[in-house]
A and B are shown apart, each in its own frame.
Chain A
């Protein structure tokens, strides 16, 4: 049963890799900026999945910590890129009174 689960996890990791490669198509050929951002966000989620599955394949529990780090970093990177392209600067606070008129 252990061997079956090992092969099953390997197949799952393979399909996640295929899904990541297909997501690269939208990342490279997206018409707008937001398509690319969506592809980057989805690619990060699939990276987390691949790390979690692959450290079950190689039987080492270290990769889950890195997956946790990626889960935090992916969200912050998406929000930072969105904020930069909205305000053209990273120094603008998101909650401010005067932002209501300018947006």
Chain B
């Protein structure tokens, strides 16, 4: 992938010199791709956690934490791609609102579930008994 990127950068650059590589564009592309890949990984991990975890509070943990970080990383990658334009300012505004509202909404859902006396699922990972009955 790296070699193809370097070749693409060389071919897109000016043809006058022998090997004129657009180093800044290459660096921006790699940084943006790394950030977006990490963000997509977090988003997929959060979705899998919401599907697979056994309890409401654990699902809330998976969705709330990974969605915030994953969305921020994907939008950061898009900001790096777009450079200093009007679009990057709008993306920065979207990232700011997501950073403000996503943990607040997660906290509000957790607080409402706690006030409605939704019990967490316990009992699978209890401490071993003192009597020494085994396991």
Interface of A toward B, CB cutoff 8 Å: 1-5, 8, 12, 15-16, 18-19, 22-23, 25-26, 31-32, 34-35, 37-39, 41-42, 45-46, 48-49, 52-53, 56, 61, 64-65, 67-68, 71-72, 74-75, 78-79, 82, 85-86, 103
Chain B residue numbers with a CB within 8 Å of A41 are 63, 102, 105-106, 109
Tell me if B93 and A48 are in contact (CB < 8 A): no
**B interface, over-half SS:** helix
State how many angstroms separate the Cβ of A41 from the closest Cβ of chain B: 5
Tell me if A4 and B5 are in contact (CB < 8 A): yes
Q: Which residue of A lies closest to B50 (CB)?
A: A26
Tell me if A8 and B75 are in contact (CB < 8 A): no
Tell me if B97 and A26 are in contact (CB < 8 A): no
Q: 18 A-B pairs, CB-CB below 8 angstroms?
A: A1-B9, A4-B4, A5-B81, A8-B33, A16-B43, A22-B48, A23-B51, A32-B118, A34-B116, A42-B47, A49-B43, A52-B75, A52-B78, A64-B90, A64-B94, A71-B98, A75-B102, A103-B115
